[in-house]
Chains A and B, each alone.
Chain A
Amino acid sequence: MPTMNIIEAVRDALRIEMRRDQRVVVLGEDVGKFGGVFRATSGLYDEFGADRVIDTPLAEAGIIGTAIGMALYGMRPVPEIQFGDFIFPAFDQIVNELAKFRYRSGGQYPCPVVIRTPVGGGIRGGHYHSQSPEALFIHTPGLKVVAPSNPYDAKGLLLACMRQNDPVLFMEPKRIYRASRGEVPEGEYTLEIGKAAVVREGTHCTLLAYSGMVSIAEEAAKKGEAEGVSIEVVDLRTLMPYDIDTILASVKKTGRCVVVHEAPRTCGFGAELIAAIQERAMDHLEAPILRVTGFDTPFPYTLEHEYLPNADRVLGTVRQTLEW
């Protein structure tokens, strides 16, 4: 089996789907000839031409708004927003239009647009090249939110997203775009949207993580193992709709849970997960569910590693639940 990094896996998925389905087009800033600032669409312009790999003017509202129009007409646009931080000029189009088209047309106009965008910090990007805005979009009914953590999932999930009919925000972890490398099957396969994966089994505490934080959770679990702490790591993979069954099964098994995300803490996705778990599994909990998150601040530049959750902070928090 070939090995790929996340960028290559994303590109592979796009290429497969564009070969298979004439209706799939890619559009965005610098995605064509240049192949995207992170090279995710590199080579696609040469293979599919300027009509299907579309360099757009610098206007995110235009990119998403016209993608919506294309989808209404029956195409399958896969717009790229260059950085998750620059999605906000398109916020209105995403929140008020894309996410609501199916609903406000009584089901007659589904809007299968898959928005790809790199998210997360740790690349010395400061507050405009580091944000993790998932909570805003999970809180937008009508939009699916998918956040893979590795190349295998990225390819299988992206293919799945392009083959279903709801709009998706597909968030790619840019810090590990190249660092995360793994075996990826050639050709097509899809992974079910809405399914989490237990990426490491354990018995003392469940760590819920996604995107760039999965590798941090795994590192904490490894450190924990050396110290006699057995940690189960669940990679949520899809944030909306999230996989409540896998989450509950794990938490019921371990009796403890810590949620990790790099987005700010207050009203972050962790708050939703904790609420949902305690509503359904109070009797199984040995300790309060805790969070390791970014700060309630914009994403910093020089102090980004103080801001970002790391394995020591995660393991320390797991210990707090064990010592409760």
Chain B
Amino acid sequence: MTDVVTASSTDSAIDPVVSAPRRGAFVYFDLEPEAKAHSLFQILREDGSADEAGVAGVDQALARRLYEGMLTIRVTDARMMALQRQGRISFYGEALGQEAAVVGSAAASLPDDWIVPALREAGVGLFRGLTLESYVAQIFGNALDPTKGRQMPCHPIDRDHHYVVMSSCVASQIPHAVGIAMAMKAQGHAGRCAFGYMGDGATSEGDFHTSMNFAGVFHAPVVLICQNNQWAISTPGTVQTASETIAIKGLGYGVESLRADGNDVLAVHEVCRYAADKARRGGGPTFIELLTYRVSAHTSSDDPTRYRDESLTEVWRSRRDPLLRLRTFMEARGWLAAGEHDALVAQLEARVRDVIATVEAAAPPPVETLIEDVYEEPTWAQREQLAALVDPAS
């Protein structure tokens, strides 16, 4: 077990931990529960290299899918942030630096699984089939928005692919994921599971602890994933919790708890696949901490230079960039030819530009939508209020 190192501080934790595969399986999964929750599972080293046995099951097609998924997020986010700065949209929250955690977990989900996202997981939706048109329309909040311009940007929805709309209220979604999983079990729908996402800040809310407890007690087929990006707005992980890792919080609830390098998309994919397979087979819940970093500001409303040392951010932006890591790995194997990355970026940029061009021009939602969907049918009072707005003389 020499290859497993216990994290002592957040920053050293990312560096040294590699789990070597043995006889086709990763020794990491055979560790004692405590060790799994303390150490950090990694397949791709920071420099993009890997033990051959660790990547034996990874083929070019999978790597390609993961890379394109991550690139889609990166390109879309960058464009949306630019729109926000130009005043064309009001707000945006990007996932810069967290793309591996998003896409690696998404790739472990199957079509019948359900996704309950937090703020950073729009890429999970996009990976599963949420269209860019729908995503961008929600951001503009106009008549093309499937949710009728009701919410701030970054609240996409995709019922067809079981991607439940996110709530701004931190942690409120975690019990929903557990409840969905309980329903899958109650309805006898084996072979499915629910993915519930959260940030590190969310683990301080009561809803997190309630969810863990229910997940454990009811043996729910749920994968609870914490993207530990080490910040909750200005609050660093050390202020958020005195716990050595976030993963170990699951142990007290009897929930198997894993911890992986969130910037290593292959490691993320592997732990999520393990947890999802287990859940689908009736093995119960898993809690996964994915250690990553919020390279961007919290959202377009935030200025991190006021509260953190951006020189550390630079390390995560450059050397620890999750896209660069997979790209290096792929290029070394000839899975990404010279110029292919640039071509992909150009293609995605053109696609995003086209989508914006078709979506942005749409009119605002009709005023009648104000009173729709509050109840199945509007009440007399709502109808009266709308009438007074449309025709003040009424």
Contacts and interface: CB of A to CB of B under 8 A. Distances in A.
A124 B152 contact: yes
B206 to A, nearest CB: 5
A139 B381 CA distance: 22
14 contacts: A30-B233, A37-B233, A60-B205, A61-B206, A89-B169, A126-B155, A127-B151, A296-B385, A297-B371, A297-B382, A300-B149, A302-B141, A302-B145, A306-B370
Interface in B339-394: 364-365, 367, 369-371, 374, 379, 381-382, 385-386, 389, 392
A41 to B, nearest CB: 12
Interface in B193-230: 201-202, 204-207
Nearest to B385: A295
B178 to A, nearest CB: 17
B141 A57 contact: no
Interface residues of B, number: 46
B150 A30 contact: no
B389 A306 contact: yes
A298 interface: yes
Contacts of B170: 58, 86
B168 interface: yes
Interface residues of A, number: 38
Given A126-B152, A306-B389, A298 B306 contact: no
Nearest to B89: A124
B21 to A, nearest CB: 37
A266 B206 contact: no
Q: Is the interface of B mostly helix, strand, loop or mixed?
A: loop
Closest 4 CB pairs of A and B: A302-B149, A34-B234, A128-B168, A57-B204
Contacts of A61: 205-206
A126 B147 CA distance: 12
A43 interface: no
B91 interface: yes
Interface stretch (B10-18, B235-243, B263-271, B323-331): B235-243
Contacts of B385: 265, 295-296
Contacts of A58: 170-171, 201-202, 204-205, 232, 235, 240
Given A58-B205, A303-B369, A298 B169 contact: no
Given A33-B307, A86-B170, A301-B151, 18 more contacts: A34-B234, A35-B306, A57-B239, A57-B241, A62-B204, A86-B169, A89-B207, A124-B152, A127-B150, A295-B385, A297-B370, A298-B374, A302-B141, A303-B149, A303-B365, A303-B369, A306-B367, A307-B370
